[in-house]
A and B are shown apart, each in its own frame.
Chain A
Amino acid sequence: MRGVRVLLLVGILGMVVCTWTLQLNAQPEDILLDDHSVFKSRERSPAAFRHMYHISNGIECKTCHHRFKGGKNILDETELQEGAEGIKCSSCHKQTPGFRFAPDLDPTKRNLQQAFHRQCMGCHRQVSQEGKKAGPVTCGECHPWKKKASQS
């Protein structure tokens, strides 16, 4: 009887680990931030966001992903699946701020470019000010000149 219980426990644990790993693997590696629905005329090459790099370095999903209601992030992490409705930043952050994804949610304060800049640079600067190694903060580090020619 004890053996069956252990087996069951191992099975459940295995399933949890598998689901977690699969979900993790389902996350995109690098994301090119070039949403054409919003960025119609671009001045610079699109930034490549190292999505998986952030996950593997222990950054929680809700550090970046959000859905604000009354200033509180009410996002359900299980919704974070590729292709899910309203999961892309541009679902709410448009060319101008003030968009509400749902009537009961807070309107956006920033347009898409401002949102990206704040998410990336804001965090990188904060981490850097804490004396830790942080990501890029200057323009060219995210928008390399060379890629400009290849952008479509």
Chain B
Amino acid sequence: MNLYELLRGPLLWLSFGVFLGGMVVRLALFVATSRKKDKPIYRFWSWKWLWLSIVHWIVPVNVTAKKNPIVTIVGFLFHICLLVTPLFLLAHGVLWYESWEISWWSLSEKVADYMTLVAIGCGLFFLVRRMVAPHVRVITTAADYVLLAVTLAPFVTGYLAYHQYFDYYTVMILHMIFGELMLVVIPFTKLSHFLMFFVSRAVTGMEFGRRDAPSW
């Protein structure tokens, strides 16, 4: 089995397994801990405050958006490009079809190309912000830089692969390695916020909500 087949077959299964399994475990551990240590949450459970909190933070109608509009805009652009580009990339769609005979709508390659650049650009903004802004710098550790690199690596290599810069096959193999690496590290790092964000916002929303104070 060559490297491509290894990365497309067993290692892809492994990375999706670790990613999905890891997130289920993360969520289960969170629920188990909260049942022991944060019983009021269940006593004052409120779907209304739960959803109000999530919605206010998933659309930019909150205190951060007002205080830091630039960070909000860059943050939203970053996350939209980060999620939408790989999911609706034509080339990825072809692979989904080849493997599972399932297909869905895809972006034009030109749009996806620009979105990749936007994701990289926004990532660089956050890198500089981490280094320059004192209130962010003080809570930054080496792991944050590594995580940013892990997040951006699939996009940088994806961009290079699409434009066929350098040795195409090598870049493509690197793209696959970095993509799978990102999936694997998600459950063990801050990147798990893609799911835990909803939990945090829900809990905070309900916690503030029972005091009739919006958390946004």
Interface flags for B163-184 (1: CB within 8 Å of A; 0: not) read 1100011001000000000000
* Interface residue range, chain B: 10 to 19
Most buried by B among A43, A128, A129: A43
- A51 an interface residue at 8 Å Cβ cutoff? no
- Asked whether any CB of chain A lies closer than 8 Å to the CB of B161, the reply is yes
Choose the segment among B1-9, B128-136, B205-213 that binds chain A (4+ C-beta atoms closer than 8 Å). Answer: B1-9
Report whether A121 and B98 are in contact in the complex, using a CB–CB cutoff of 8 Å: yes
Say yes or no: is B91 at the interface (Cβ < 8 Å to chain A): yes
Max count, chain B CB within 10 A of own CB: residue among A137, A141, A146: A137
Known contacts A114-B97, A117-B98; A141/B5 CB under 8 A: no
Does residue B108 face the partner (Cβ distance < 8 Å to A)?
yes
Chain A residue contacts of B162, Cβ below 8 A: 140
**With A43-B109, A117-B98 given, is the CB distance from A139 to B91 under 8 Å?**
yes
- CB pair B161 A140 closer than 8 Å: yes
Task: Determine if A44 and B98 form an interchain contact, defined as CB atoms under 8 angstroms apart.
Answer: no
Q: Is the CB of B97 within 8 A of A43?
A: no
Check A100 for interface membership: any CB of B closer than 8 A.
no
A129: B residues at CB distance < 8 A: 1, 5
Specify which chain A residues have a CB less than 8 angstroms from the CB of B5 in the assembled complex.
125, 128-129
Confirm or deny: A118 has a beta carbon within 8 angstroms of a beta carbon on chain B.
yes
The answer, yes or no, to whether A145 is at the interface (CB within 8 Å) is yes
Which of A43, A131, A137, A140 lies in contact with B168, CB distance below 8 A?
A: A140
Asked whether any CB of chain A lies closer than 8 Å to the CB of B147, the reply is no
Interface code B85-107, partner A: CB below 8 Å = 1, 0 otherwise?
00000110010011000000000
| Contacting residues of chain A (101-141) with chain B, CB-CB under 8 angstroms | 114, 117-118, 121-122, 125, 128-129, 131, 137-141
In the complex, the answer to whether A145 meets B169 with C-beta atoms within 8 Å is no
A14 at the interface (CB under 8 A from B): no
> In the assembled complex, which residues on chain B have CB atoms less than 8 Å from the CB atom of A131?
1
Residues of B with Cβ closer than 8 Å to A? 1-2, 4-5, 90-91, 94, 97-98, 108-109, 161-164, 168-169, 172
Q: Which 3 A-B pairs have the closest CB atoms?
A: A145-B164, A43-B109, A140-B168
Known: A43-B108, A43-B109. 11 other contacts (CB 8 A): A43-B90, A118-B98, A125-B5, A128-B4, A128-B5, A129-B1, A137-B4, A138-B168, A140-B162, A141-B168, A146-B164
